[in-house]
Amino acid sequence: MPSLKDIRRRITSVKNTQKITRAMKLVAAAKLRRAQANILQARPYAQELHEMIAELALRTEADDHPLLEVREPQRVMIVILTSDRGLCGAFNTNVLRRAQAYLADNKDAHDEIQLSVVGRKGREYLEYRDIEIKQYFAGLDVGNALERSKEISAKVTEGFLGEDLDKVYLLYNEFKSAMSQKITIEQLLPIVPAEGSKIQAAVDFEYEPTKEQILDQILPMYLQVEIYRASLESTASEYGARMTAMENATSSANDMIDSLTLEYNKARQTAITKELLEIVSGAEALKG
């Protein structure tokens, strides 16, 4: 049985850990509020732009713009959004396992599947399993999501226009609530009308100045906005997952403290009983 000193040391250690997890929960909650506000502001704009692009895609041909060109998907890239830091439950593991599942299910469907990873945790996970990473970007945060989305958009656009890539997917955690995230994989390139779209293309638009100039401006912007929105979704999901994980850790630490306190009291009572028995035995010996 551990000594009283050892049990007291363990209780102190768990209490110190609990202070850290409680502080991390509060920090994650504060960041989550800001990230959640950003995503709620960005979603309506991204949705309207998405519907506009769906209408344009229905009214254009593949040769109207290079980003609309549909090719045989021989070279495919998956852009995976993960985090730089851990302690956020299964946030990173779930999205990376989804990427592994895609690789396993489609290894014969494409000549090459490239992985572009955002976040240190994703890179470490894949490198540990000897899975090749084509591109790496530093992790996302509330302050750098726009800058990072521009960087990713430029890279995937360059690869698609240079015909090094035939199709590009984006894989990320879509934010639902602090306790719930949905693994989402969506096609970035080529840009196509949304599946199940009810938009009718019976009447074409009038374009000013020209269709080509409009497509040159709006399609790259749409791509960047989609990546930016997904970056905000992933960031909010990360903070939500970390807040939940730290709340669970704090609760578990509290349960552990209660258990150790009970063990300490039992050990202390055992020691007191042993001392009383020794005193009584000594007194009886002196009487005899």
pLDDT values of the chain reduced to their tens digit, one per residue, 288 residues: 678 888 899 999 999 999 999 999 999 999 999 998 988 888 898 888 888 887 777 777 767 788 888 889 999 999 999 999 999 999 999 999 999 999 999 988 899 999 999 999 999 999 999 999 999 998 888 788 889 999 999 999 999 999 899 999 999 999 988 888 999 999 999 987 655 455 555 566 677 777 788 888 889 999 999 999 999 999 999 999 999 999 999 999 999 999 999 988 988 888 888 888 878 787 777 776
User: Rounded to whole angstroms, what are the CA distances from 255 to 182, 251, 252, 261, 268?
Assistant: 30, 6, 5, 10, 20
pLDDT at 194: 58
pLDDT at 193: 65
pLDDT at 68: 86
Q: Which domains does the chain have, with CATH numbers?
A: 4-22+245-287 (1.10.287.80), 32-242 (3.40.1380.10)
Exactly one of 28, 32, 88, 243 is catalytic; which is it? 88
Helices (H), the chain: 4-58, 91-105, 120-128, 145-161, 211-287
Active site residue 88: yes
pLDDT at 91: 94
Cis peptide before 209 (omega within 30 of 0): yes
- pTM score: 0.85
